[in-house]
Amino acid sequence: MPRPLALMFAALVAAAPAARAESFDALLAEARRASPEIQAAALDADAARARVEGAASLMDPMVRLSVENWGRSEPGYLPQGSTEGTMKKLIVSQQLPFWGKREMKRGIADAEARQAAFTAEQTANDLAMRLKVALAELRGAEESLALARKLEARLGAIGAAARVRYAQGEGQQPEVTQVAVERAAITAEIARMEARRAAAEARVNRLLARPQGRRLAEVPDWRRVPDPERHDLAALIDRAQRDNPDLKAERAMQEGANRAADLARRNWYPDVEVGVGAVREMGRVQSYEAMVAFSVPLQWGLRRAEIGSASAAAAAARNRREAGELKVAEAVAAAWADLAAARAVEAVVAETQLPQAELGFESAIRGYQHGRVGATDVLMAERQMWTSGLDLVAARMQQQARLAELEALIGDDL
């Protein structure tokens, strides 16, 4: 083979330098500032907190003005045109709930406010997970594209070598055709990969609340993946069951439901209304009066229904919280197992499969240069190296996705 062609092969086999990555933390901070989902959840939490102060407030006082001994006109049945000689009363009254009811209502509102706050925290948590996955997909798409373009260039060089060998009478026409077909297939695959990359970037732009079509200055590098052997699965499950925002919201919901059940039972006790008033006759205040009224809880069926409903809701909230804890434990265990498996796959591919495939390709290239192997052998070696490279990217993407899922489950970075 001519020396320039051999130098071309050597250049194609050499590794390309890696690009500097943009900070993931900066992108996540931007997403949290700009995300309408997070802003809406935060406003819902603010609204729930604002309701806490008013939950324990008394009802507005009632002011009643009455006129008594108002005679009728003669003849007829209409009131007299003048109120002279009548008794006028001005009464101000206030409803007072039975002892403890106001505190229970405040406790219910406080539990709802904490639930809304944890829901807002989970919204931010979920956004971080989706952004981590989307950036990993974008990184994987870029690395896969880089592999495909290197393969396309290698196939171009192999095709040129095949044509030179055929022109010199050392090769066959089917070899030239086979390489051309293989290169066309890779060119089509590059088009599909570019579409997948564009879709991944569109997801990133949506999560960052950026205009579609805007390109990232730099795609962040893979995030560091912790070694599973340095973490205890039981400790991770305990951490997730303690700190997961969804579970904290479930616990707040359960507390609110328990307080609502206590309030329903407290409704067996009567509420009180007190009032004071002034009586005006003959143009001046003649006397004062005071009143006390209380409700009589005689609607036993209504009270029993309220208590039954609230108690059932409290039990349902407790069961949902327990089911959520079990679900989180299962999700942590499954994600941890997948992470460990993907890490093991990456180690095998990076340390054994890919280096062996590269050695095989280099050996095939040297054999092709000296006429010991044909183009089919070179293409097969190239395909093995291409597949190994994609396997490495897939294993890294799998690790990033499982890591993002674990961090969402425990509510913090691992």
pLDDT in tens, 396-406: 999 999 999 99
Predicted pLDDT at 101: 87
Single-letter residue type at 299? Q
pLDDT at 42 over 80: yes
Q: Which domain holds residue 154?
A: 3-59+112-243+315-410
Count structural domains, the chain: 1
Classify residue 238: in a domain, yes or no: yes
Classify residue 197: in a domain, yes or no: yes
Predicted pLDDT at 12: 43
Q: What is the DSSP letter of 77?
A: S
Q: How far is Cα 243 from Cα 20, in angstroms, rounded to an integer?
A: 34
Q: How far is Cα 106 from Cα 248, in angstroms, rounded to an integer?
A: 19
pLDDT tens digits, 109-146: 999 898 999 999 899 999 999 999 999 999 999 999 99
Classify residue 304: in a domain, yes or no: no
Tell me if the pTM is above 0.95.
no
pLDDT at 10 over 60: no
pLDDT at 276 over 90: yes
Predicted pLDDT at 403: 92
pLDDT tens digits, 180-227: 877 888 889 899 999 999 999 999 999 888 888 888 878 888 888 888
Q: How far is Cα 405 from Cα 411, in angstroms, rounded to an integer?
A: 10
pLDDT at 6 over 60: no
Classify residue 272: in a domain, yes or no: no
Higher pLDDT, residue 222 or 169: 222
What value does the mean pLDDT take over residues 13-40? 71
Classify residue 387: in a domain, yes or no: yes
Q: To which H or E segment does residue 85 belong?
A: none
Q: Locate 165 and state its tokens.
A: 């060998």
Determine what percent of the chain is predicted with pLDDT higher than 70.
Answer: 90
Q: How far is Cα 209 from Cα 202, in angstroms, rounded to an integer?
A: 10
Predicted pLDDT at 306: 86
Classify residue 284: in a domain, yes or no: no
Classify residue 185: in a domain, yes or no: yes
β-sheet with 62-68: strand ranges across: 62-68, 87-96, 272-281, 284-294
Among 148, 129, 144, 109, which residue's Cα sits nearest to residue 260? Answer: 109
Q: Locate 66 and state its tokens.
A: 């009455």
A 10 A CB-CB count for 225 gives 16
State the number of CA atoms in the 13 A half-sphere of 47 facing the CB: 9
CATH of the domain at 156: 1.20.1600.10
Predicted pLDDT at 166: 62
pLDDT at 330 over 90: yes
Between β-strands 87-96 and 62-68, what pairing exists: parallel, antiparallel or unpaired?
Answer: antiparallel
Mean pLDDT (the chain) is 84
How many Å from the N-terminal Cα to the C-terminal Cα in the chain?
54
Q: How far is Cα 27 from Cα 367, in angstroms, rounded to an integer?
A: 48
> What's the pLDDT band for 296 if we cut at 50, 70, 90?
confident
pLDDT tens digits, 341-391: 999 999 999 899 888 888 888 888 777 766 776 777 778 888 888 889 999
> What's the pLDDT band for 168 if we cut at 50, 70, 90?
low
Alpha-carbon radius of gyration of the chain: 38
Predicted pLDDT at 138: 93
pLDDT at 170 over 70: no
Among 128, 185, 135, which residue's Cα sits nearest to residue 408? Answer: 128
Predicted pLDDT at 18: 38
Q: Locate 172 and state its tokens.
A: 């066959």
Residue pair 300/138 in contact (Cβ under 8 Å)? The answer is no
Is omega for the bond preceding 211 within 30 degrees of 0, making it cis? Answer: no
> What's the pLDDT band for 173 if we cut at 50, 70, 90?
low
Q: Which residue has the tokens 């229970």?
A: 104
Classify residue 275: in a domain, yes or no: no
Predicted pLDDT at 80: 73
Least confident of 9-18, 156-165, 274-283: 9-18
Residue pair 176/159 in contact (Cβ under 8 Å)? The answer is yes
Q: Which residues contact 246 (CB under 8 A, 6 or more apart)?
A: 118, 122, 324, 328
Q: Phi/psi of residue 362, each to 5°? A: -60, -40
Q: 292: which strand partners?
A: 274
